[in-house]
A = this chain, B = another copy of it.
């Protein structure tokens, strides 16, 4: 594969070249990995910068409808929109959350939109690296907005939040007994909570839900990267295309503020550090991923849980066997 040619075509906004490049970075083959590294190095200097928006929402909140409506609205404003997904469960469930593009019929046919399903890997670390590289490819290809969606399996929200400039939590209207509640740890990552389906019969419940979450957000300690009024909760109706423009305004207000105050660049720099440290850690912890080490870990974990050996003694035994010291 001619990497220089691929690079040039990506910079020339060639969608097929972008798709091919993402396929390349998703490959585990060593020769592909080397080519992918070469490509990423060659694209490092483009200086193009998208707004990266992480989007989390459990099934049923209307995430596909939201991406369809919100993405279409952005393209109508002349913006180019890429949609990526982090779904470590996709390999297991046999289909990624974005696999069914028919749920985003208009957006998937839109020449200013690019939709790519999650890489089919169960290992979250691998999904994270590939998605980060895909985001960088979309930026190099001149997309203005990159939406990174996740269905919220395991730690996938953290992965998405750590590669996004903005993290949006999409909720459905609910109250009382219906209330499923937000997965612990998610609310604190949100920059904006959007209560979807604020239409028809659900409008009243949505208003209450929005007010409840706005109240809960006020109880969290203020972060330096938030101007007055953020994080905030808002209502939208993706189906009726209501509130989307206002939501986008709030997002750009927040991004502008963070750009002016240095928090935008600061966050990206922190994220780069985070991923660097994560990759080093994962590299070291890979020692525990041999079949022998897994067996020993699992065996000791059982004995530790039963109380027949203390965590400290068990850890010492594993480290002596597999620590490489």
Contacts and interface: CB of A to CB of B under 8 A. Distances in A.
- Counted per complex, copies of this chain come to 2
Interface in A269-283: 269-270, 272-273, 275-281, 283
Contacts of A182: 219-221
B188 A184 contact: yes
Contacts of A223: 184
Contacts of A310: 40-41, 44
Please report whether the interface of chain A is mostly helix, strand, loop or mixed according to DSSP: helix
A315 interface: yes
B219 A212 contact: yes
A297 B318 contact: no
B216 A219 contact: yes
A47 to B, nearest CB: 10
B300 A276 contact: yes
Range of interface residues on A (Cβ < 8 Å): 35 or more
Contacts of A280: 288, 297, 315, 318-319
A118 B126 CA distance: 40
A260 interface: no
Nearest to A310: B40
A123 interface: no
A41 B307 CA distance: 11
A279 B288 CA distance: 13
A1 interface: no
A28 interface: no
A325 interface: yes
A74 interface: no
B220 A181 contact: yes
B315 A276 contact: yes
Contacts of A284: 284-285, 287-288, 319, 323
Interface string A167-188: 0000000000001111111011
Contacts of A323: 283-284
Contact of A218 (B179, B304, B318): B179
A221 B181 contact: yes
B221 A184 contact: yes
A86 B180 CA distance: 34
A311 interface: yes
A215 B215 contact: yes
A185 B187 contact: no
Interface string A293-325: 000010011001111001111111011000111
Interface of A: 37, 40-41, 44, 129, 132, 179-185, 187-188, 212-213, 215-216, 218-223, 269-270, 272-273, 275-281, 283-285, 287-288, 297, 300-301, 304-307, 310-316, 318-319, 323-325
Q: What are the 3 closest A-B residue pairs judged by CB atoms, nearest first?
A: A279-B315, A181-B221, A184-B188
14 contacts: A132-B311, A180-B221, A212-B215, A213-B219, A215-B215, A215-B216, A269-B305, A273-B305, A275-B304, A275-B311, A276-B304, A280-B319, A283-B319, A284-B284
